[in-house]
């Protein structure tokens, strides 16, 4: 490969980095020997080899867990508990042992059984498919032990300025990376929601995934630019491209809160999906957390987190933002978010089924109670309001505190009755805690607006709550009847479609005249090109991946709020997405 070549993939972390290519091929030395005649295999010897390999893998997994715990906190470390559980999974261990008893050498038995499991998970949707990466990870550890293969490159000690190229990265690989040393990541396979991509994003490492086989031609040592915004990998970039791309990262971090040029305060907060994402959010100057996706506390493990674990995770986030607000969303599973041990119902159309608050109020009522106990206790740590009841104006969020203010919101609301029921649960958990003498407080309470129903009912919801937060990822899907996971209807799933914009406008107008503030925590909020429009639509808070906080803050400062409302009126009058883009001066 000579000169400058551009390969395209899926931009995963919207940052750009330039560095020296280095291939990571952990599986390259794991080629299996030919299968021997079964009659020559001694099952007792192979069983012992398998047992020894499991113990070696277990030790390595525990070491990786300890390292992740120190660096990234409990939740990131929990993925390794799931890895260890695979080592003991009777469905895997028994099958491997019976293949060995039938005359299969241990390495082939492990390989075959894991391949079958990987194939099974890959056939599933959303986050379940990501378990396939976890299985690959465990399989490779076992094979490495059985084949006595060298440990692959130590990813935690890569030289500064490395652009890491790989077929795909496992969660363990990504968790080992030092963000200060890795200038970028590009992978042949993987999608934007693969576990490795999510970890890279949380570490703010520029990343492009799903580049395809062409990536294989990039040699070690080549100079490579990874543009995670455009989804491009440029081999041998020219000076202009380097300067243009790297300039984009140079938006200065603004730690103080920002206002428009005419003085309207807009909060610019961060979305956080794990403990590891909290400190990048602080570093990028976020005004607190606008969406703490609590479901991440429940993923990649075998049973729900305890009340104490949940309490500690929330308190850690509050302590990281002592002067700001942390909005925790209550457990949002269902739809594409499957959690094996929660026994979610099998449904023909899970996106229109038991999701979010629907589960919390019924099937998962016990889980919801534990969740609320942890949150109300954390609210006392934060200060929050006193425990003197909820509803309308008798709350205030400004009492004495060590951490920032806690706020809690309910996902996938579609009925006023759900909010009333959720508020009743909060009251009853508060009463239980009071009866036990456990310190607690009632946080500010809000609802996500992710369904057309919630947008139509915004006035009624806002009258009952302290805030609303628009989740455009789901709202665009439900308004446009287009599955957010389905590439074939990606064109429909467009937050800039006039129908979606009108649903947002309806939400902010619905809340007018109440004390409730309205934020947005869908991906749309993090696009600096839309900041003026969103301010004009009446949003008080924008919450996004930490990586785009500085650019959005910069844009807020340049907005004139009167002009922004005129722009919003003009956009709300559009009838097609092309007209909207024309008005906003955007391409395509």
Residues lying near Mg ion in the complex (CB under 5 A): 450, 471, 474
Select 395 or 497, whichever has its Cβ closest to Mg ion: 497
In contact, 269 and 409? CB cutoff 8 Å: no
Select 107 or 541, whichever has its Cβ closest to Mg ion: 541
Per-residue interface string for the shown chain with ligand PEP, residues 438-467, x marking contact by CB under 6 A: ------------x-----------------
Question: Among ligand PEP, Mg ion, none, what does residue 527 contact (CB within 5–8 Å per kind)?
Answer: none
Select 232 or 332, whichever has its Cβ closest to ligand PEP: 332
Give me the least distance between CB of 51 and Mg ion, in Å please: 45
Residue numbers 257-316 binding ligand PEP by CB under 6 A: 291, 293
Residue numbers 330-389 binding ligand PEP by CB under 6 A: 332
Distance between CA atoms of 11 and 231, rounded to whole angstroms?
4
Question: Among ligand PEP, Mg ion, none, what does residue 405 contact (CB within 5–8 Å per kind)?
Answer: none
Q: Near ligand PEP by CB under 6 A, which window of 2-10, 71-79, 309-317, 469-477?
A: 469-477
Instruction: Classify each residue of 551-575 as buried b or exposed e, where b means 16 or more C-beta atoms within 10 Å of its C-beta.
Output: bbbbbbeebbbeebeebbeebbebe
Does the active-site annotation cover 574?
no
What stretches of 102-256 show up as alpha helix (H) in DSSP? 106-122, 126-147, 171-176, 195-202, 239-247
DSSP reduced 3-state for 24: strand
Question: Among Mg ion, ligand PEP, none, what does residue 49 contact (CB within 5–8 Å per kind)?
Answer: none
Select 134 or 450, whichever has its Cβ closest to ligand PEP: 450
Classify residue 246 as exposed, middle or buried by CB count within 10 Å of its CB (0-12, 13-18, 19+): middle
Distance between CA atoms of 128 and 405, rounded to whole angstroms?
34
In the set 83, 111, 364, 521, the catalytic residue is: 521
The dihedral region occupied by 140, where left means phi > 0, alpha psi between -120 and 50, and beta the remainder, is alpha
Does 522 bind ligand PEP (CB under 6 A)? Our answer is yes
Interface residue with ligand PEP among 5, 473, 509, 565 (CB under 6 A) is: 473
State phi, psi for 399 to the nearest 5 degrees: -85, 180
In the set 83, 108, 111, 195, the catalytic residue is: 195
Does 73 bind ligand PEP (CB under 6 A)? Our answer is no
Does the active-site annotation cover 497?
no
- Reference 186, options 203, 169, 161; nearest CA is 169
Select 86 or 478, whichever has its Cβ closest to Mg ion: 478
Select 405 or 450, whichever has its Cβ closest to ligand PEP: 450
Give me the least distance between CB of 410 and Mg ion, in Å please: 12
In contact, 26 and 152? CB cutoff 8 Å: yes
Angle at CA 375, nearest 5°, toward 329 and 275? 65
Give me the least distance between CB of 568 and ligand PEP, in Å please: 20
Does 232 bind ligand PEP (CB under 6 A)? Our answer is no
Select 172 or 472, whichever has its Cβ closest to Mg ion: 472
Shortest Cβ contact with ligand PEP: which residue? Answer: 471
Give me the least distance between CB of 157 and Mg ion, in Å please: 38
* CA separation, residue 146 to residues 111, 171, 410 (Å): 11, 22, 48
- Sorted by sequence, the CB contacts under 8 Å of residue 255 that are 6+ apart come out as 285
Distance between CA atoms of 280 and 470, rounded to whole angstroms?
23
Residues that bind ligand PEP (CB under 6 A): 291, 293, 332, 450, 471-474, 521-522
Which residues are known catalytic residues? 195, 521
């Amino acid at each position: 490969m000579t000169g400058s070549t551009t390969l395209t993939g899926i931009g995963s972390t919207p940052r750009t980095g330039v560095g020296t290519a280095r291939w990571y091929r952990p599986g390259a030395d794991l080629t299996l020997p030919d299968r021997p005649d079964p009659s020559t295999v001694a099952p007792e010897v192979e069983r012992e080899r398998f047992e020894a390999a499991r113990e070696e893998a277990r030790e390595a997994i525990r070491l990786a867990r300890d390292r992740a715990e120190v660096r990234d906190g409990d939740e990131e470390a929990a993925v390794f508990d799931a890895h260890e559980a695979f080592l003991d999974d009777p469905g895997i261990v028994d099958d491997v042992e019976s293949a060995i008893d039938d005359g299969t050498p241990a390495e082939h038995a492990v390989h075959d059984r894991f391949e079958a499991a990987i194939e099974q998970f890959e056939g599933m949707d959303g986050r379940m498919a990501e378990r396939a990466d976890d299985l690959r990870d465990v399989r490779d550890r076992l094979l490495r032990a059985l084949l006595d293969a060298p440990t692959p490159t130590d990813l935690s000690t890569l030289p500064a300025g490395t652009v890491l190229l790989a077929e795909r990265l496992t969660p363990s690989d990504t968790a080992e990376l030092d963000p200060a040393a890795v200038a970028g990541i590009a992978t042949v396979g993987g999608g934007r929601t693969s576990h490795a991509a999510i970890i890279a994003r949380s570490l703010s490492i520029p990343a492009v995934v799903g580049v395809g086989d062409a990536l294989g031609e990039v040699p070690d040592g080549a100079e490579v630019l990874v543009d995670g915004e455009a989804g491009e990998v440029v081999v041998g970039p020219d000076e202009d491209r380097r300067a243009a791309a790297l300039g984009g990262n140079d938006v200065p971090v603004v730690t103080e809160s920002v206002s428009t040029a005419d003085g309207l305060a807009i909060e610019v907060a961060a979305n956080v999906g794990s403990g590891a994402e909290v400190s990048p959010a602080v570093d990028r100057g976020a005004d607190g957390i606008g969406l703490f996706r609590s479901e991440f506390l429940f993923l990649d493990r075998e049973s729900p987190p305890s009340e104490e674990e949940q309490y500690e995770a929330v308190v850690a986030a509050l302590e990281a933002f002592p002067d700001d607000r942390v909005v925790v969303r209550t457990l949002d599973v269902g739809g594409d978010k499957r959690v094996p041990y929660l026994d979610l119902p099998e449904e023909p159309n899970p996106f229109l089924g038991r999701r979010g608050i629907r589960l919390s109020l019924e099937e998962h009522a016990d889980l919801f109670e534990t969740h609320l106990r942890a949150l109300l206790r954390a609210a006392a740590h934060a200060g929050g309001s006193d425990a003197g009841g909820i509803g309308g104006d008798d709350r205030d969020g400004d009492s004495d505190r060590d951490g920032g203010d806690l706020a809690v919101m309910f996902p996938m609301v579609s009925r006023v009755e759900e909010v009333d029921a959720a508020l009743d649960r909060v009251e009853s958990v508060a009463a239980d805690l009071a009866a036990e003498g456990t310190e607690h407080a009632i946080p500010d309470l809000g609802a996500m607006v992710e369904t057309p129903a919630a947008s139509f009912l915004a006035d009624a919801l806002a009258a009952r709550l302290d805030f609303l937060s628009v989740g455009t990822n789901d709202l665009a899907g439900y308004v446009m009847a287009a599955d957010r996971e389905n590439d074939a209807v990606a064109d429909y799933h467009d937050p800039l479609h006039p129908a979606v914009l009108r649903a947002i406008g309806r939400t902010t107008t619905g809340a007018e005249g109440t004390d409730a503030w309205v934020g947005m925590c869908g991906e749309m909020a993090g696009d600096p090109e839309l900041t003026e429009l969103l301010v004009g639509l009446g949003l008080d808070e924008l919450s996004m991946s930490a990586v785009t906080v500085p650019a959005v803050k910069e844009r807020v400062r340049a907005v004139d709020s009167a002009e922004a409302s005129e722009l919003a009126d003009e956009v709300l009058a559009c009838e097609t997405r092309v007209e909207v883009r024309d008005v906003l001066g955007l391409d395509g």
